A and B are shown apart, each in its own frame.
Chain A
């Protein structure tokens, strides 16, 4: 900047410098405002779609509630003390259902993007001078995260209503943090799929195939100690398990993340370990998928 004005007198150079710095600053503020504006507008669109087509939201809340009520009832007369820590089955299941709900909600994050690709709406966004095309991604993440949290809270209220307990304040904090990490990871995955797969049929197929097996091969419905060793292995490497166990711990009385939460075939893992694995997974997925998103979006 300064070189250009070499032949100006020193005070003038200073003035020029101050002015260019402040314009740069203003441009930065401006571009943050732009980013805000476009991200908000895109998020608003997603929420309008949701409000006007609320059936997916209701189904997303109803389905886990049915799980909770029916499955919870299924084992309600099982002998006491069967589950680790003498938990009743409803409480045990609650954590699984919360995680599963957030997980399947986030897995669907790619669908609206896929439809936008198919109907040419994405082109409308791509010819616009967006400050950053990441705002398309941000809006999806904001949308899915709020929905997942909303759905999970609905389930937690119902669970407590059914007498399955309520995590304390600290517990609630752990629940929300855990869910957020999981939702980020799965949303990234789903958006990546939405750009990598040829159409919504394929995306729905993948969602369909991934969803239930991941549930059954996790500790959502039963502890590892109930499983044959091959399934125990699967459950012990299943990302859902790493989210379920801290939440379950939050429900089972005084929370201490240093306690061993997973007795996996490969060794014991405490709460911090679980969360670290989840965070690592999320970062890994973002690193893996962002080149794909950038390529498709530029």
Chain B
């Protein structure tokens, strides 16, 4: 049975269509990664799952409970750590955890026990009694995470939990996440870091423009692409025209598949070859047509290739494209309740 099950989620913010029919099925005990560029709809999805937001249409089942009909039962099962850290500067970390415990109706014994365990596990004892206003970004994230874990949720939803963190804090959070998975928690984590999703997740979905465009285990997704990746450049910076011409050319070589022009790397060509020998054939064909071979590199498929293959652009391109269009202030205003 799936612990998280969404069907055809649709959500618009005025004219902006954030989700266009999103389906996610997450098995019990799975550490599931949601990979997508800025603005793909990750936060919107997670907010719907934790009952902060109602979709325009679609179905949401969490642990078999219909989240739209019985949101309160769903809230008991879920721990949610938002993308923006929401803590009260005036309270100490411990006071925030106590408040959180009361909001989840823990009794006094459970409360003390849970808080002390979390403080020990996340190594917060040195600063937990200081006011939150004095915390560093990493401390705030840890505290926020601890708050989300206070009631031992069956389902943990983390929205970009390591964004902006130093390597050390990041890896300690990664470790905790894996530990929780090993103890049986179902975890859904969003990120736009490939390596994070690749390192952590058992299964993953790539979402882009409000839809799931690829789904499976990271290994499986990479294998599905098959063959080795090759990057070809005929000069350091080609024009788009030239690259399109070379693309025509190499597409005719036997054993070459899926040729894509990669804008973000000076219009280099990314392609897949079926066998080792194809590489030589490719080189000869290019040289015959009186082009030079500036670079020709070969590598095993990476998640980035999966992304490129699925969307026709690299993750970085996608990020750049949206970052210029979004009005973040306006969004945060509108997402106020």
Interface residues of A (CB under 8 A from B): 33-34, 37-38, 40-42, 44-45, 48-49, 52-53, 117-131, 198-199, 296-297
Contacts and interface: CB of A to CB of B under 8 A. Distances in A.
B72 A129 contact: yes
B31 interface: no
20 contacts: A37-B102, A48-B90, A48-B91, A118-B336, A119-B86, A121-B86, A122-B336, A123-B52, A123-B82, A123-B337, A124-B82, A126-B52, A126-B337, A127-B75, A127-B78, A129-B72, A129-B103, A130-B72, A198-B333, A198-B336
A38 B105 contact: yes
Contacts of B336: 117-118, 122, 198
A116 to B, nearest CB: 9
Contact of B52 (A42, A52, A127): A127
A117 B102 contact: no
Contacts of B80: 127
B99 A41 contact: yes
Contacts of A198: 333, 336
A213 B128 CA distance: 46
Given A48-B95, A127-B52, A296-B337, A41 B86 contact: no
A131 B72 CA distance: 8
Given A124-B100, A128-B104, 9 more contacts: A41-B99, A45-B88, A48-B90, A124-B86, A126-B337, A127-B75, A128-B75, A129-B103, A129-B105
B84 interface: yes
Contacts of B72: 129-130
B85 to A, nearest CB: 8
Interface of B: 50-52, 72-73, 75-76, 78, 80, 82, 84, 86-88, 90-91, 95, 98-100, 102-105, 131, 147, 333, 336-337
A128 B95 CA distance: 16
B90 A49 contact: yes
Q: Which 4 A-B pairs have the closest CB atoms?
A: A41-B102, A120-B86, A128-B103, A129-B75
Contacts of B78: 127
Given A121-B88, A124-B147, A129-B104, A45 B337 contact: no
A44 B90 CA distance: 12
Contacts, number: 77
Contacts of A40: 102
Q: DSSP majority for the A interface?
A: helix
Contacts of A121: 86-88
A165 B105 CA distance: 48
A52 B90 contact: yes
A33 B107 CA distance: 10
Contacts of B73: 129
Nearest to A130: B103
A45 B92 CA distance: 11
Nearest to B92: A48
Contacts of B103: 38, 41, 124-125, 128-130
Given A37-B105, A199-B333, A127 B51 contact: yes
A38 B100 CA distance: 9
B337 A38 contact: no
B213 to A, nearest CB: 28
A117 B337 contact: yes
Contacts of B84: 120
A127 B104 CA distance: 10
A200 to B, nearest CB: 11
A265 B84 CA distance: 56
B99 A45 contact: yes
A40 B111 CA distance: 15
A34 B90 contact: no
